[in-house]
Structure 1
């Protein structure tokens, strides 16, 4: 990336960082019970994050972003062979979603959780099907060709890098850790605190999902 594209990437990365800091500050200074406000502007409002995609789902079919129009979306990028970070993040996020759904069952129809792999070589539909089922019954797993994933990752400001030693068969994938909440039209709203408590995730969902 270079020129205007790189500048745009940097500006949006700054917005993500600022939003993350705001989330941490909110966690350090929780609002009194029952006082969550839905009047303020979402932290990521106006950020150039997200966009269209068509990828392969865990059942081997094609899934496009257009299918989620009208629904809020929780999107996390990772990979199933991740030794520690991804399963912990996903567990926190999905437990938070379950808590939010328990408190407000109507959210089950309003929110679609999505996991997008940054390791398409190993994350086949069959692998993803088994993986996502461990976290939430409605979590969709998406994969694709390396070019497909690279294109989607760029739109969602996700950086990833495959670390593979010469001659090795196993490898790790370094990647950005972002859990996004998007609105019904695919607009970015906020970051979810994947390294906080499930209740913090549930509170953030309740704050922005109407």
Structure 2
């Protein structure tokens, strides 16, 4: 079947859009790696969001704790559940030292990820994970203090008709909320655990 001129143009446009989206994701991950390479923490965790129990929390509520922060969404088919499973394995591996670390999952899909949705989702991985959500404006503001990128992608077969593209790094912040480290998607839990043990 031959494609019409309009169909060809649409296919070219789709290809260019996909390229741009992938480039933006890689650029965001590159920024994360650059931040990690600096000797001094280049930024601090800064947020005011609602947790999965309906209570407003800021980074000050976790003062004195190491924070493992991951941005994602509950309808994520692969990256998010895989990373949260790794986080759960890390927390289990820490044993008694797990009390010094708080894993935090911040949604980039506040339209669907209400406190109730998060309350059903985060315990599937580890009861110690804190899920955070907010208004779209609050999530956008939070994302500006972290080197992350996220974008809504229309997809008819996805729940609600759309999915989300986002930075897949896992971030570590020290007890003063300063950036300490980040790991790219796919980093084994054993590697993260070994690094954490040296720090805490």
* Shorter-chain TM-score range: 0.7 to 0.9
Q: Residue in 2 aligned with 1:53? A: 47
Runs of 4+ in 1 over 3 A off after TM superposition: 12-15
Matched residue SS, 1:162: strand
Please state whether the residue corresponding to 1:190 is helix, strand or coil: strand
The answer to whether the 8 A contact 1:181-1:191 is kept is: yes
Q: Does the 8 Å contact 2:45/2:173 carry over to 1?
A: no
Q: Answer 1 or 2: which has greater helix percent.
A: 2
Is the counterpart of residue 84 in structure 1 residue 78 in structure 2? yes
Q: Compared with structure 1, are the counterparts of its residues 186 and 70 closer, same or farther at alpha carbon in structure 2 (3 Å cutoff)?
A: same
Pick aligned residue for 2:56 from 62, 66, 91: 62
- Normalising by structure 1, we get a TM-score of 0.74
Asked whether 1:161 is paired with 2:177, we answer: no
Question: CA RMSD of the aligned region, Å?
Answer: 2.3
Structure 2 vs 1, CA of residues 14 and 85 (structure 1 numbering), >3 Å: closer, same or farther? closer
Q: Which runs of 5+ in 1 are unaligned?
A: 1-11, 21-42
Q: For residues 54-100 of structure 1, what are the alpha-carbon distances to aligned partners after superposition, in whole Å with 9 as ceiling and x for unaligned?
A: 1011011111111111111000000000011110111112212211x
Q: TM-score, normalised by structure 2?
A: 0.78
Change (3 A) 1:13 1:196: closer
2:180 counterpart of 1:186: no
Q: Any gaps of 5 or more consecutive residues in structure 2?
A: 1-27
In the alignment, what sits opposite 1:174?
A: 165
Give the Cα separation in 2 of the matches to 1:197 and 1:56. Answer: 30
- Aligned partner (choices 176, 185, 192) of residue 201 of structure 1: 192
The Cα offsets for residues 6-61 of structure 1, whole Å up to 9 and x where unpaired, read as: xxxxxx975632577xxxxxxxxxxxxxxxxxxxxxx5542433332110110111
Q: What whole-Å deviation, never above 9, does each CA across 1:158-178 have from its counterpart, x for those lacking one? A: 110001258x83211000111
**The structure with more radius of gyration:** 2
Task: Establish whether residue 129 from structure 1 lines up as the match of residue 145 from structure 2.
Answer: no
Q: Report the number of matched residues.
A: 172
CA contact 1:161–1:173 (8 Å) conserved in 2: yes
C-alpha change, 1:86 and 1:130, in structure 2 (3 Å) is: same
Is the 8 Å Cα contact of residues 193 and 201 (structure 1) preserved in structure 2?
no
Give matches, 1:93-104, under 5 Å: 93-99=87-93, 101-102=94-95
